[in-house]
Amino acid sequence: MEAYVQARDILVPFESPLNGAQFPRLMMLKEINNFRRSKMADLANAAERKGWPSGVKL
């Protein structure tokens, strides 16, 4: 039990910065997903305008 308490005391200063970095990472992943979805929609629209068969599922 004592080892757990000592380890926790050592790791507490790192917990806040790690948790603070989580939100920007999630926002970046969300933006990447939105960008990819937008690109797929653009490709599907271009194919539709050219009369190509639709192979892109959104």
Residues 1-54: tens digit of each pLDDT: 788 888 888 988 888 888 888 899 999 999 999 999 998 888 888 877 777 766
pLDDT of 58 strictly over 60: no
Question: Residue for token digits 């926790």?
Answer: 8
Q: What pLDDT, on a 0 to 100 scale, did the predictor assign at position 31?
A: 96
Q: What pLDDT, on a 0 to 100 scale, did the predictor assign at position 53?
A: 65
Q: What pLDDT, on a 0 to 100 scale, did the predictor assign at position 32?
A: 95
- Report residue 53: phi and psi, to 5°: -65, 145
How far apart are the C-alpha atoms of 27 and 38, rounded to whole Å?
A: 16
Q: What pLDDT, on a 0 to 100 scale, did the predictor assign at position 33?
A: 94
**Amino acid symbol at 42:** D
Residues 6+ positions from 47 with CB-CB distance below 8 Å: 53, 54, 55, 56
Kindly report the number of other CB atoms within 10 A of residue 40's CB atom: 13
